[in-house]
C-alpha cells in the first residue's frame, strides 16, 4: 500500500502481471495461481477459436475487426497486412471468398514464465494444412494474443 498526496491509501497494480483467480487458491496454502492454471480447458477453447478466426479472416470469410478485442495492436497490424495481401491475390485471380471448412488436428500448449500460454495449433482445410502459433498474455484483465502467426 502506498499513500497518495491526499492521504488516502491506494493499492498499486502491475498491469502486466497476470490476474489471479482467488477461487484457484490451493487448499494446502501454496498461494494463488495465475488465472488459467485452474481453467486450462477454457484457455484451450480460446486458443482454438482464435486460430480458426484468424484463418477465416485471412480467407476473407470473417471481418478482421471481430478479432480486435482479442489481439494486441501489433498482432492486429500484422493480420491486417496478411488479410490485405490475401484479398488482393483473390481479386487478381478472380477467386471468390468463401468460408473455409476447417478442423483442428492438434493443440500443443505450455505455460510461459509470465503466467501466459504459448500454443501451436495445426488446422486443416480441404486444400492444405495451416500451423498457427499463438502466445496469450493476461493484459487489461483479459487474455489477449500478443503473438499470432499463421503459416
Domains of the chain are: 34-150 (3.10.450)
Going by pLDDT thresholds of 50, 70 and 90, the confidence category of residue 36 is very low
In contact, 110 and 118? CB cutoff 8 Å: yes
Question: Mean per-residue pLDDT for 40-54?
Answer: 93
pLDDT at 19 over 50: no
Look at residue 25 in the predicted model and tell me its pLDDT. 41
Handedness of CA 38, 104, 55, 61 (dihedral sign): negative
Amino acid at each position: 500500500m502506498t499513500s497518495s498526496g491526499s492521504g488516502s491509501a491506494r493499492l498499486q497494480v502491475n498491469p502486466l502481471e497476470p490476474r489471479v483467480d482467488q477461487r484457484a487458491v490451493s487448499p494446502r496454502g501454496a498461494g494463488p495461481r495465475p488465472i488459467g492454471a485452474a481453467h486450462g480447458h477454457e484457455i484451450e477453447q480460446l486458443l482454438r477459436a482464435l486460430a480458426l478466426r484468424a484463418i477465416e479472416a485471412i480467407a476473407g470469410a470473417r471481418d478482421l475487426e471481430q478479432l480486435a478485442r482479442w489481439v494486441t495492436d501489433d498482432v492486429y497490424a500484422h493480420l491486417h497486412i496478411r488479410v490485405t495481401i490475401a484479398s488482393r491475390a483473390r481479386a487478381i485471380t478472380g477467386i471468390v471468398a468463401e468460408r473455409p471448412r476447417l478442423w483442428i488436428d492438434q493443440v500443443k500448449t505450455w505455460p510461459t514464465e509470465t503466467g501466459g500460454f504459448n500454443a501451436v495449433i495445426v488446422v486443416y482445410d480441404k486444400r492444405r494444412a495451416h500451423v498457427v502459433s499463438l502466445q496469450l498474455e493476461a493484459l487489461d484483465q483479459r487474455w489477449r494474443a500478443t503473438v499470432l502467426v499463421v503459416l
